[in-house]
Each structure stands twice: as C-alpha cells, then as structure tokens.
Structure 1
Amino acid sequence: MRNWFTAQELAGLPGLPGTARNIKAMAARERWEGQGRLGSKAIEYRFAALPEETQAALIAASVNESQPAQVAEPELNTAERDTISASHLTEDQRSVMTARLAFVREVERMSKTISQQRAIDTLVSLAKADQLSPYLKERAQRANDRKTGDRTLSERTLKRWLSDYRKQGEAGLAPARRQKDLSLPSWSASFLACYQRPTKPSVEAAYAEFALKHPAERPSIHVVRRFLNKLSAEARERGRRTPQELKALQPFKRRLTKNLFPCDVFTADGHKFDAEVLNPRTGKPYRPETTTVLDVATRKAVGISIGEAESTIGVMDALRDAVQHGMFAMFYVDNGSGFANDTVREVVDRLGGEMTHALPYNSQARGLIERAHQTIWVNAAKKLTSYIGADMDKHAGTKVHRISRKQLRETGSTRLIPTFAEFMAGVEYEIETYNNSPHRGLAKIRDPLTGKLRHMSPNEAWDAARAEGWEPMVAPAEVLTDLMRPQVIRPTRRGEVTWAGENYFLDALRDFHGQEIRLAYDVRDASRVWVRTLEGEFVGEALLDGNASDYMPKAMLEKAYEKRENGQMKRALDKLETLTGKRVEMIAPTTAPSAQLNAEQLAEAQRFAQLAAPKAPTFEIPADPIGKYQLWKQLDSRVKGGELLSPEEAQWHDRWPKHSDYTSMQRMFAHAEQARA
C-alpha cells in the first residue's frame, strides 16, 4: 500500500477526472498536498488528500494486488520469533493458523498507509462483496474453521486474530482441538492382567474372562478396543511377548562398520541346517550343524565348519579356516557352549586376539551373522527336496519324508536326500556365490560392465582394502597349525595317554609314568596327538593304538581253525558209525571224474563243479564317495606303476575325476594332509 500517487496513476479512478491534465487542475484548485517524484519531473499527491471514494478504490486495488509470498513468509522481529511455538500443532491446526496469519499480515501492511480500523473495514466489506483476491478468498474459508457454509469475515473476528497474534505469536492463531484422553481407566489394570499373557489371547477371550471376574466394573468391548488402540505397540504387547521379542518394537542403535578394516572383528555363530543330508558316518538322514565365521568390515565368509551339533571342535575347525585369511583383533560371539569354553578362549588368547560375548537374549546385536545365515544357509536349504523349514508345505514335506525312508530301507540309498559329498559341493558353491554377490551393507561402486551403481561384494570390499594399503597379518603355516591345536593336561601311565575315549602310545612317555603331561590334539586328525611337558618342551607324537597288536598271530589262528575242523569231522564220523553200526570212511576229494559214473551222474558232477569253482573277481564300485576316492587312488597308483587295468577299471578311472564328488573328496583329503603335516 503506497502513500503517494501521480496524476497519471489516478486518472479514471472513482471520484476523479479521466485525464491527468484535469486531475492536475483539480489538485491545484483544491490544494492537494504534493511533491516531486524522485528522479522524475512528475508531481505525486498524498493518499490522505484524495477523495474518500478514490481512497476506497485504491485500498481495494492494493488488497487484490498483494502477493501471496509476501504474506506467507513475513519478516519477524525477535520478539515474534520467541513467541512462536507451533511445532506441537497438527497439520489441520497449522493450516488454519497460516490462513489467519495471512489476514493479520494484510492488516499490518495496509495500516502503514491507513488506520487499522479502516483496513479492517475494507477487508470486511470486500469479503461480503466477494471481491477478495483468489489467494485471500481461499484462506478466508480455512481461517474461519467452520463446517457451515457461512465463512465470511467480521470486524470482531479480525480484531480477535490481531490480539491473539500480538499476545502469543502465530501459535495463538491456531484453533484449539480436543486432545485424546490418555488417562488410564480404573478397569484397565484388571483387563490387561487378562490380556497381556504369553498365550496371546484375543480381545474377545480376554474380555470374557475379565467380565466374569469383574462384573461390576465392566465396560463394553468397544470401549476396551478403543482403549487398546490408544496404547503404543510396545505398551500393548508387553507381557504378550518375551523381552527378547519385545525388542522388535523398541528403538535400537545402529552399528556402523565403515570405519573398520578387514580382520578387525570376526563374528561367528552356529546354525542348524534346514534340510536333511545323509550322514557320511552312518548313512542315515540328519541335519548338519554349520558354523560360520564372518568378517564384519567386508561381510566376507572367511571360515565354515560342518558338524552334527554345535561343539568346540566345530568352532575350532571354522576358526582354523578363518585365520588363514588373516589374524583377527576381536572375536565377537554369543554365549553358546561351543564358544564359551576354556579351549576356544585359550586358542584366541594364543592368537593374540580378544573374545567378546554378546549379552544373553540379544540376538539383534549380532544381526550381521544372523542375516548371513538367511542368505547362505536358508536359501541353500530351500534348493533341496529334503528342506524341512517352517515355510515348507506340510503335505509335501511329509511325502518326501515317507518316500525317502522307504527307499533307504529297501535300497540303502535315495535321491531325495543329498549325500554328504553333494552337500559339501553345494556348500562351497553357496559360499563362493555369497562372497561374490553385491551386499547392501557395503559401499557403492560403478559396475565396470554395466556402468550402473551397485553395492560392492564382500570379495570386492576385501580387495578394495588391500588396494588402499591394508594387508592381512598371516602367521606361517607351521606356527598356525601348532596354535590351532587345543591343549589339555592328561595323566600318562606306562607310555600311554588317554584322550576322547582312545588310547595313544609313545615310547618316550615311559620316563613320565604317573605324571601329567600337556596333550595337544587336532580336531581333524584323530590318528595322533602331540605330547609336551608341563613346561612346554616337545616330547613327540603319540599314535592311536601305537602299542596294539593282534591278540594271537594269524598263522596260529589258522592252525587252530584247521585242527578244530578236523576234530569236528572225526567226531561226526564216530557218531555216524555208532548210529548205523557200519564203518564210515571219508574219501578225499579229487578233480578226476570217476569211471564208474554214468553220463547223467557225470553231467551233474560237472555242473556242481562249475558252481563250486571260484569265480573270477569282478570290478565293484563302492557306494560312498570316500570309498570311491580310495579305489581311484589305488587304480591310479597301479597305472603309474605300469600295471594294466581291466576295461571296466580303465573306463571308470578315466571318467570319475570329472564328477563333482572327486573334486570334493580331493579337497577334503588335501586339507587333512595339510593339517597332518
């Protein structure tokens, strides 16, 4: 709203002539207050000197020409900023407050030229005549905050808005809203005692029990439902869930790993495989126990172990596999029996690391390894027909179980359940696939093939750390093997030491009869143990049953068998003579046919001789992969020695190395030889 206008701007307005020349004459005649416009020769006249009809037209024009931006983002002084506190308002209250603030700012703007009363009267008259600008017309409907059709402005309303704004700031313009009643009714404790139980009763069941116990203070079930809806999910589910499950509804702290380097932290955990595999020892179906060691910084699976249950041996085996990639600084595990024991802690201490246990019932803190179980083991189990997870179809799982057991009883094998060799080949594939797949917990890179952004894979994150100058600290193989052998203190007697139900013998132990020694064992090789004194001096290797031999020599047993057989035959002849009263003679067998036999008797004798004759040995292939590998090694040594194989043996010797079982068995025996070395 301006305060000065030139004759050209006033020409044609209500109450004034239509030309600038006549307006100048009228101004001279009525002696209007005027002044020269800065930078121009034009004369401009004061707003207060103009006729009232002209002033009203100028005020109405200024209201309709006001810019929304000037009203929506006003300049506030310090006092106004201190009084504004609208952060607690709802979106509906904020919308009404903003609409009312637009009219407050419009009155303040007009009051710079005219009086506040006249500005209010002008806005009221324009609103009644429906001549407000579209911007103010829309806000007039919201500012009234009424559901009726009558939403015009009034002088009293505008003055009330001005007063509220000057007292409380813009928050004073917000309409009051009825707040939710958050007070607890008197019957709430009694109802929640019936509702908040681990059995998770329904609202209807809990209400029925509550109504039976407290008939006097019984509200309707609809009131009960509205009360439950007011509670937060955590407050509503307390008592219906254990503290561990309740954590899924509570805030949490997110752990960042971007500042870690590889091998800074290893985390490990066991997982019962969700599919059946044929046990290589018994041939019966079982669920293997997998132990996985994960590098936290890169999410790389650095070590695995397969066993029948979570145990110290499985943990040691997985840790042996992991430290071949690098020595860790911290080993973060749970409180399971396979981890919380002196054997594992001793090895970790000897490696120079630190083992930290997670809090009980706090599996969320180890979300990295739990997520890896889902990605690696659960997805791998779902690829097998023998999957028995919770989401497996019940009828399909029952059918597979029934058919596989029937095949095992009748034939000793089944294709519905994978063999251990097939399982191990699949494990290697799944681990390799996981380590080479993008992981959303790692940083993004641009794919060199597609040019698109994607997350790095664990192997790429490992290589990226090495490219930046990081190198893993790896101990020599012989030192690492010695460190990974757990040690126990056992007594020795007459050169023998007992461990894990087996007897080991070392002649050098004769000097330690009745004393205690330090025994180191290998979790992968039970054929020997390593003996040291309590001071750590190496004594030697004690072999399994190293002092054992056959109870009697084999030649003596064969003589005893022959003597017993002859005695039994002589006693049988004596018994026949006693029963018949005739002499019985034993005729020695001969290969020459008797001349006294007729043609029919001779043919029968020849047929019997053919059946009784020893058959030529046939080439038989073992059913288990370990037996196949050992048979192939025997055939291979015969070939290398220059011996000729039969056609069946030669054909199988050439074809079996192309099978996946050969690769798995070769790798397994190679690991065993390395551990034994």
Structure 2
Amino acid sequence: MIKRIESATGGATVVMPTAKVLALRSRDPWREATDRARQEALSREGVVLYVRGLTDSGVTQNNAVLLLLERGMAGNLPPHVAYMLAGSAKADRAAPSRSAICEWCAQYREGGIAALLPDHKGRVVEAAGWWGPALEYYNVPGKPDMSAVHRRLVEVDGFAVSYDQVRNYLTGVPAMLGRNSPARIGKNLYRLTEKAYIRRSTENALPGDVYVADGYRADVYLAHPVTGDIWRPELTVAIDMRSRFPVGWRADEHEGTYAVQNMWAECFARWNHVPPLLYVDNGSGYKNKLMSDEMTGFYARAGVQQVIHAIPGNPHGKGWVERFFRIVKDDFLKLWRPEFYCGTDMAPEALSHTVREVKAGRLALPTLAQFSDAFNEWMLRYAYRPHPEDKNVTRAELWSQLVPIPPHASVTELKRQAVTLTVQRASVKHGRREYKHPELHAFNGQKLVLEYDLMDDRIAVMRTLEGRWICDAHLISAIDAIAPNRMEEKRVARVDDAMKRLEKKMDEQKARAGLLIDADAVAEGALPSLEGEARRIADGDDEPLLLDLTIDD
C-alpha cells in the first residue's frame, strides 16, 4: 500500500512497507513470548480461575483472594492450584500479594491469557484499513499536516475516521515513520539529527597530535580591503583536537588553495610544530594536486604524515571545529558590533537598515584590521575557558603541554607552491614564465621540482625529486604580457571570469526582452535585395554603378 522511496544508491527503502508497520502494531504477544513467560502466564491464569470460581458462588473478589491466600498458607488448596499459586509468586515469596492477584483478574478480563504475560504492554491492536493510506500521505517530502491527511482519508478515500483517530495513530507509529521520518525531512537530515551516533573522546590523544580545520563565511559585514564595499570574509580556522586550542586562522576572499596553504604555513611556523595528522574538509582548497601531491604537495613538503578528509555532508566528523564556529557566531559576532551581524537569525528590518545606511554613507563599516584585533582578543579569552572534557583545566593549559615537532621548512618555503617540470637547454618553463641557470645544464631532459612564490616571480628554487637544492633560477623572459606576479595574475583571471559571467547574464536578459539581433534572420532578409542588385548590374551598361545595400522596410 505504502510507496517505497529508494535511496540514491539503490539501497534500503526510506519508508517501511505498510505490512511491516502493521505487523509491528498488531503482533501476537503470546506467539512472541518465551516458554518461561508462557508458563508464568499459565500459573497466573490458574490462580485467576480459582478466584473467579469463588466469585461465581457469591463471594466478593476481595474476600475470594483473601480466602485463596489463607487456604494456601494452611495447605488446604487442591494440589494443582497450590502448584500454580507458588509458580506465580516472586522468587523470594511463597505466594503473590493480594494486589497482584486482583490486578491479574482485571487484566484477564480485558486481554485474556496474553495479558498475564510478564511485561505485557497492553492488548493487541487490530489493524484498520486506513492505516496504510495514512502513512503514505503523511510520509512525503512536503511534510503535510495531520489534518490534511485526515481530510484526504475522509473526502477522497471515503474512510469513516475522526481526526483524533488519525492523530493518535500517526503520533504512535515507529519514529522512522513519524513526524521526523526520513521520507519527510530527508535521509541526510534524518541521519544527522535522529539516528544514533558515537560520541568520540579525545582523552587518549596528546596536544599537537591532530589539527582540525575548516572554513566559515563569517556572518558579519566588513569593509572590503580593496573596494571598501560590504564584504563577508571567509575564515579558515585550525584548532588542536585534544586541547580545542585555536592554533591559527586567516581571513580571505574564499577558502581556496592559497588561503589554506598560507594558513597552514603560518600556523606551523607560529608554534614550530607540524602535527602528524590533519583532519580537514573535503573541499578543493584542501584536496588538490598543489596540496596533496606525494612529491611536490604542501603536506609532503611540510612533513605531515597523514591527511584525513571528512566525509562530505557529515559535519559530525569534524564537530570540534563546527562547534567552535557556533561559539564564534553566538559569543563574538553577535555581540562585537551587533548592527553588522548578518546571520540568518538577524532581524531582516535591522539588517536592511544597516545596508541602507552603509550605502548612503551614514554608517562606516568595520575594517578587517579592527575585526582581526577584536577576534584575537576574543580567542585569547576563549583559550582560558574550561576544557569541555575536563572542567578542571583550561584549553590553554592543555596546549602548554605541547612537545613541538619542527616543520621541514621555513614559513617562506612553506608558502611557496611547487610543480614538476622537465629541463630543456638549461631552462624550465612554467606557464608564461621561463627560468634559467647554468647549473641546470647538467639536468637537461630530467624532471626537477620548481618552487615559486605567488607574490614574487623573479626567482624560482630548483630541487631534485628527492628535495635536494640545486640552484635559484632567475626569470629570463615573460612570454606575452603578464601580470607582475602570479597572485596578481590570478586576480586578473578571476576578474575576467566574473566579467564573462556578467556578459552571459546580460545577453540572457537582452534575449528575454527581444533585444538581440538574429544574424541568420538578417542574412536571409538581405539575400533577395542583393540578388536584385546583381541582376540589375548584369543587364545594364558598362557605366560604373553605386550599390545601395541598405534594406528598406
């Protein structure tokens, strides 16, 4: 009856089939009970039947129970009744209590022998015909209300059912079919918010063993460092997994390779320590050839032993840094300059007022330098808060136990990018730049590693594939017109890409408004006129003619 929603990989269904749900709600407790539970229920039934025999002869139930217990203590009961009375008692008692026997009598009247089973949850529910359609209508991504499901059952399907019945049933179904079922809120959100997960402890790790990093588009309006316009910086933050101490951060345009590499380089140099493990995002800024190549990648050159990339769509994997960003948002961004906070929970009218005042020039945006100073002061206070796993020690105190592992290179060398090139005639070409040095003659035809600085392209460091230094090659030619340095070249390329995207959007808007000229249609319209002019020339004399190629309406 109910629809099956297959997973993206063709795995298990999201919604349980109706037959299985009905089986969960209408199962037979007696059939599912163990032999020991059934034997105990039979003993209780024997006691109840003896009491009911006395009540049928005119004795009240209370007096019948008391009489049963007195006869049991005196040994005046029939052998089979005495056996059942002893079998229904608790292990440390000779007979059950009066209240327990009275309760068994009431349960037997309502549910029969199955109600006398130990830990019985109630009477068996009979399946209703509208259960299946109700589950089908309720478990859809649009998250319909229970009242809408009830109206559909009554008006379309013709079931004689009340709203209270529908509500009671839908609130009592298993959680995987209830209000927050995967079919209603989506499989990913259900996995993140409803399913059980394993809480991980970092007590066995040492400070500096693992750094965790991620990016966060800060919910605050700043002045762009170049244009001065409204700008939201991309924060790239790294924290130590054991101590939760923030070891480094940067603010950039976006979380690209340049931002991530420089953040790590500055972080490693600041504490003179390279962690054996990095637990990072799966984005392109962390996972690319410049960062991950086994020979020329940043991680290998810095001395990182292993890089673990988080599973996409699973924020629990790097929950330490995600929690840090939440604290930054609630504890710093909302209170630093409240009028410039721009999170989704900011009042829309207040945010619109701030934007209008800034554009009108009546309100000055905070600068990146002001933000950096305030953020560094806040992080210092944050570092001296109690550790979440041990309230008797602060994050800074745990971090002070660090035993540094020095990086393999200086901060200047770590900020360089590297690529493998083949030497030809004592020179190497990288993009539109060519570098040359006499020492390279001995390596003609061989592959070497070229390290270059994005901000200064005058000199490139040449190394063997094993990392041994050869020479510092000098820039001898710049093919075509190029920017002063590679970083500027990247900025120019990014601007060109942005302009191309804008041109495409402008062309689309013009096409929608009917303002673009159809070249094919113009050519087809001009062809008859050109043919007429050609015939007139062929029929005329040898006098020179002036051709009018304009098209008259």
Other structure's SS at 1:253 match: coil
> Which residue of structure 1 aligns with residue 508 of structure 2?
none
1:170 paired to 2:107: no
Distance 1:526 1:218 in 2: 80
Q: Is the 8 A contact 1:486 1:522 kept in 2?
A: yes
1:374 alignment partner AA? R
1:30 equivalent in structure 2: none
Change (3 A) 1:220 1:158: farther
1:504–1:529 Cα contact (<8 Å) kept: no
Q: What are the within-5 Å matches in structure 2 for residues 262-277 of structure 1? A: 262-277=207-222
CA distance in 1, matches of 2:438, 2:385: 53
Q: What is the rounded CA distance, in whole Å, between the counterparts of 2:476 and 2:333 in structure 1?
A: 40
1:427 aligns with 2:375: yes
Amino acid at match of 1:487: A
- Give the secondary structure class of the aligned counterpart of 1:407: coil
- TM-score by length of structure 1 reads 0.50
CA contact (8 A) 1:528 1:541 kept: no
Unaligned runs of 5+ in 2: 1-34, 38-43, 45-59, 73-80, 108-114, 116-120, 482-553
CA distance in 2, matches of 1:186, 1:238: 24
Alignment of 1:88-167 (within 5 A): 154-156=66-68, 166-167=86-87
Paired residues for 1:7-156 under 5 Å: 154-156=66-68
Distance 1:356 1:527 in 2: 32
CA 1:488 to 1:529, structure 2 compared with 1: closer, same or farther past 3 Å?
farther
1:242, distance to aligned residue in structure 2 (A): 2.1
Report the Cα distance in structure 1 between the residues aligned to 2:222 and 2:357, rounded to whole angstroms. Answer: 15
| Structure-2 residue corresponding to 1:356 | 308
Q: Is the aligned partner of 1:347 residue 2:298?
A: yes
State the distance in 2 between where 1:472 and 1:339 align: 23
Alignment of 1:529-540 (within 5 A): 530-532=460-462, 535=465, 536=467, 538=469, 540=471
Structure number with greater Rg is 1
Q: How many residues align?
A: 384
Determine whether 1:381 maps to 2:336.
no
Q: Distance in 1 between matches of 2:439 and 2:368?
A: 39
Note if 1:329 corresponds to 2:261.
no
Change (3 A) 1:225 1:548: closer
Q: Which deviations, in whole Å up to 9, do the C-alpha atoms of 1:242-278 show, x marking residues without a partner? A: 2232131222211011111011111111111001111
- Seen in structure 2, the aligned counterparts of structure 1 residues 429 and 477 have a Cα distance that, compared at 3 Å, is farther
Q: Against the structure 1 CA distance between its residues 539 and 225, is the aligned structure 2 distance closer, same or farther, given a 3 Å change threshold?
A: same
* Alignment counterpart, residue 196 of structure 1, candidates 125, 128, 139: 139
Alignment CA distance shift 1:281-1:516 (3 Å):
farther
Is 1:251 aligned with 2:196?
yes
Residues 479-499 of structure 1, C-alpha deviations (whole Å, 9 max, x = no match): x64355331235789968455
CA distance in 2, matches of 1:493, 1:405: 55
Matched, 1:318 2:238: no
Determine the C-alpha separation between the residues in 1 that align with 2:226 and 2:391. 45
Bigger relative contact order, structure 1 or 2 (CA pairs below 8 A, ≥6 apart): 2
Partner of 2:285: 338
SS of alignment partner, residue 482 of structure 1? helix
8 Å contact from structure 1 (residues 84, 168) kept in 2: no
User: What pairs up with 1:529-568 in 2 under 5 angstroms?
Assistant: 530-532=460-462, 535=465, 536=467, 538=469, 540-541=471-472
Letter in 1 for 2:347: D
**1:208 Cα deviation (Å)?**
3.2
1:314-343 Cα distance to aligned partner (Å, 9 max, x none): 221222233233221211123222222232
Alignment RMSD? 4.1
User: By how many angstroms is 1:168 displaced?
Assistant: 3.4
Alpha-carbon separation, structure 2, partners of 1:431 and 1:402: 31
Unpaired runs of at least 5, structure 1 = 1-82, 86-96, 98-127, 129-143, 145-149, 409-413, 446-455, 551-677
Aligned residue type for 1:521: Y
Change (3 A) 1:252 1:548: closer
CA distance in 2, matches of 1:222, 1:337: 52
Amino acid across the alignment from 2:331: N
Identity fraction in percent: 24
- For 1:298 and 1:183, the matched residues in 2 are separated by 56
Q: 1:397 offset after TM fit, Å?
A: 0.7
Query: What is the CA-CA distance between 1:375 and the residue it aligns to?
Result: 1.4
**Displacement after TM superposition at 1:183 (Å):** 6.8
Calculate the TM-score normalised by the size of structure 2: 0.60
> For 1:266, what is the secondary structure of its paired residue?
strand
Shift of the alpha carbon at 1:376?
2.4
Q: 1:507 to 1:228 in 2, by over 3 A?
A: same
Q: Partner amino acid for 1:241?
A: I
1:304 aligned residue: 249
Contact 2:207 2:243 (8 Å CA) reproduced: yes
For 1:264, give the aligned amino acid: D
Contact 2:208 2:240 in 1 (8 A): yes
Residue 644 of structure 1 is matched in structure 2 by none
Residue 392 of structure 1 is matched in structure 2 by 346
Matches within 5 A, 1:464-475: 465=401, 471-475=403-407
Structure 2 residue 357 is matched with structure 1 residue 403:
yes
Cα distance in 2 between the residues matched to 1:338 and 1:151: 83
Helix, strand or coil: the match of 1:240? helix
3-state DSSP of counterpart to 2:340:
coil
Shift in CA distance, 522/371, structure 1 to aligned 2, threshold 3 Å: farther
Residue 187 of structure 2 aligns to which amino acid in structure 1?
A: P
User: Is the aligned partner of 1:370 residue 2:322?
Assistant: yes
